[in-house]
């Protein structure tokens, strides 16, 4: 394929040679293309190539697969982390197990019985003190026993309430954040695994295959070069005097070798600066030596008739066709 500078120099020579015997609305040019280079964002060995050079590929069709062992293992680990975090959160929300609740309840019943006993004993001691059968210090000991047993009952009642209602709100909130983090890791692991299998992003012809099965592909390195029909464009060059007559959207007729008839196109870009400047003074007589690059897009249904590098002849659509 001719390099771009060499292609331009050759085209310029053809343009200058053709100016003398072609109509003023005739411009030589060539077909060009914007290729779509398909790559994976993650490195790996190419294990399966599902298209070949020259294939007509449909959008969504399988393109290539890179080895996936590490990504599959990472996804499996992330799945286990999510399941564990979800189970821990559910456990905190539902409280303790029934047998644990029963154990706390039994301790509470025992403490309540002790409180009843100490309360009854304190009542007797107070009566004995009032009747002056015992010293007041004995009643003080009985009062302390009541206070002790009451504190134990209060403690076990709190434990039973916690056991039945679950963990504190801050513990549950922390567990919820752990679950979200685990789910984010799982989503990332699934994305990485999906990136090891690439599909054709748009209907296109396979222009080139850059790696073979068994080769290691770096992250971001193109594996397949695609050429969608809508990415074919035309480039031609016009002299400075003709620049003012052209504008974006203007209709063109394009001829090429082997084409059965004119190909419809429209101007998509007009260069604002000279593509080539001869070593001449910018005098009125020498302005015609300046050429400006113009780009045009062929009609989508006719774009496939053109091939990158193919010479074309461009004329304005409303120009009179010479016999």
Can you give the residue range of the structural domain that contains 85?
72-191
- Do both 92 and 167 map to the same domain? yes
Question: Which two tokens mark 302?
Answer: 């006719």
pLDDT higher than threshold 90 for residue 69: yes
Confirm if 28 and 236 have CB atoms less than 8 A apart. Answer: yes
Q: What is the pLDDT of residues 138-192, one digit of tens each?
A: 778 888 888 998 998 898 888 887 777 665 677 888 999 999 999 999 999 999 9
pLDDT higher than threshold 80 for residue 20: no
Question: Which two tokens mark 317?
Answer: 């659509």
Examine residue 165 and state whether it is found in any structural domain, yes or no. yes
pLDDT higher than threshold 80 for residue 7: no
**Any idea what the CATH number is for the domain that residue 258 is in?**
2.40.30.170
Examine residue 321 and state whether it is found in any structural domain, yes or no. no
- Do both 79 and 179 map to the same domain? yes
- Do both 243 and 145 map to the same domain? no
- Do both 173 and 96 map to the same domain? yes
Q: What is the pLDDT of residues 248-270, one digit of tens each?
A: 999 999 998 888 889 999 999 99
Rounded CA-CA distance 256/238 in Å is 18
Confirm if 294 and 287 have CB atoms less than 8 A apart. Answer: no
- Do both 245 and 165 map to the same domain? no
pLDDT for 235? 92
Question: Which two tokens mark 293?
Answer: 């690059």
pLDDT for 181? 96
Give the pLDDT mean for 291-303: 90
**Percent of the chain's residues with pLDDT above 90:** 48
Q: Is 317 exposed, middle or buried (0-12, 13-18, 19+ CB in 10 A)?
A: middle
Rounded CA-CA distance 313/321 in Å is 13
Which residue from 219, 217, 192 is spatially nearest to 49, judged by alpha carbons?
217
Q: Looking at the 3D structure of the chain, how many domains does it have?
A: 3
| Phi, psi dihedrals of residue 12, rounded to the nearest 5° | -65, -40
Residues facing residue 293 across a β-bridge:
237
- CA distances from residue 222 to 32, 39, 45, 206, 318 in whole angstroms, order as listed: 20, 4, 13, 13, 42
Confirm if 270 and 291 have CB atoms less than 8 A apart. Answer: no
- Do both 79 and 186 map to the same domain? yes
Rounded CA-CA distance 277/8 in Å is 13
- Do both 55 and 202 map to the same domain? yes
Give the pLDDT mean for 306-316: 90
Residues in the chain: 323
- CA distances from residue 99 to 95, 103, 106, 190 in whole angstroms, order as listed: 12, 6, 10, 40
Among the candidates 168, 191, 214, a domain finishes at 191
Buried b (16+ CB within 10 A) or exposed e, 138-154: ebeebbebbeebbebbe
Rounded CA-CA distance 267/245 in Å is 12
Q: What is the pTM of this model?
A: 0.65
- Do both 307 and 200 map to the same domain? no
């Amino acid at each position: 394929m001719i390099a771009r500078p060499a292609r331009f120099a050759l085209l310029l020579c053809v343009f200058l040679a053709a100016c003398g015997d072609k109509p003023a609305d005739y411009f030589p040019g060539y077909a060009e293309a914007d290729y779509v280079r398909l790559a994976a964002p993650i490195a790996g060995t190419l294990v399966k190539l599902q298209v070949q050079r020259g294939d007509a590929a449909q959008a969504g069709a399988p393109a290539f697969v890179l080895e996936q062992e590490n990504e599959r293992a990472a996804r499996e680990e992330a799945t286990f982390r999510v399941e564990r975090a979800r189970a821990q959160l559910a456990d905190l929300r539902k409280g303790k197990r029934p047998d644990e609740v029963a154990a706390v309840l039994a301790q509470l019943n025992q403490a309540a019985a002790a409180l009843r006993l100490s309360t009854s004993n304190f009542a007797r001691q107070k009566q004995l003190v009032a009747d002056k059968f015992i010293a007041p210090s004995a009643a003080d000991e009985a009062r302390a026993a009541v206070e002790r047993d009451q504190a134990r009952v209060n403690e076990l009642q709190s434990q039973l309430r916690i056991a039945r209602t679950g963990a504190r709100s801050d513990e549950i909130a922390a567990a919820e954040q752990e679950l979200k983090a685990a789910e984010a890791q799982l989503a990332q692991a699934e994305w990485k695994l999906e990136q090891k299998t690439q599909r054709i992003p748009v209907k296109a012809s396979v222009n080139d295959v850059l790696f073979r099965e068994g080769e290691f592909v770096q992250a971001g390195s193109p594996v397949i070069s695609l050429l969608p029909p809508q990415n074919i464009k035309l480039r031609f060059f016009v002299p400075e005097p003709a620049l003012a007559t052209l504008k974006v959207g203007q209709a063109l007729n394009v001829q090429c070798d082997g084409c059965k008839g004119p190909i419809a196109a429209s101007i998509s870009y007009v260069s604002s600066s000279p593509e080539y400047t001869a070593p001449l003074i910018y005098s009125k007589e020498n302005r015609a030596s300046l050429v400006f690059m113009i780009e045009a897009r062929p009609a989508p249904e006719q774009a496939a008739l053109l091939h990158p590098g193919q010479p074309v002849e461009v004329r304005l659509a409303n120009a009179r066709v010479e016999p």
